[in-house]
Structure 1
Amino acid sequence: MRDTYEAQTTMSEAVALSLPPVRPEPVAGCQDCLGLAVQRVNAGSVGDYSKVSDMNVTLRAHLRDAHGGEQ
């Protein structure tokens, strides 16, 4: 007996993608912000975009905790 199953080759619905969040910016004069921003730039310069993303998350958390919100 032959299997008559046909594989679905297209998606049933369109996928809605959003733009990535705006890159967080360090607060002027804050050494912690500066350190995180430098690590982010260094990671980007060697193509480590996973670390760039990690530094964005860390900087956002720092901005929230130390400066009362993302600046």
Structure 2
Amino acid sequence: MSQYLKNEIVKPVAAFSASPTSGKAPLNVAFTDKSTRVPTKWKWSFGDGTISREQNPELSIHRNEIKDQI
């Protein structure tokens, strides 16, 4: 009887949270990765040109108008 090992690529399922999600500027927001299936790389793009490759980055928001995007 032959045995075969089947390798499957399992893609992570992205999920995240942010806290706090409202407040006055400057607002320090902590983003938490809650993804499943064990991601190994991260790329957070915050819409203002700021990018982080940390698993759980923090962002200091200095303008009140950004609050609607969190």
TM-score using structure 2 length: 0.28
When you count helix as a share of all residues, which structure comes out higher? 1
Larger radius of gyration: 1
TM-score of the two chains, using structure 1 as the length reference: 0.28
Structure number with the bigger relative contact order (C-alpha 8 A, sep ≥ 6) is 2
Relative to its length, the structure with more strand (as a share) is 2
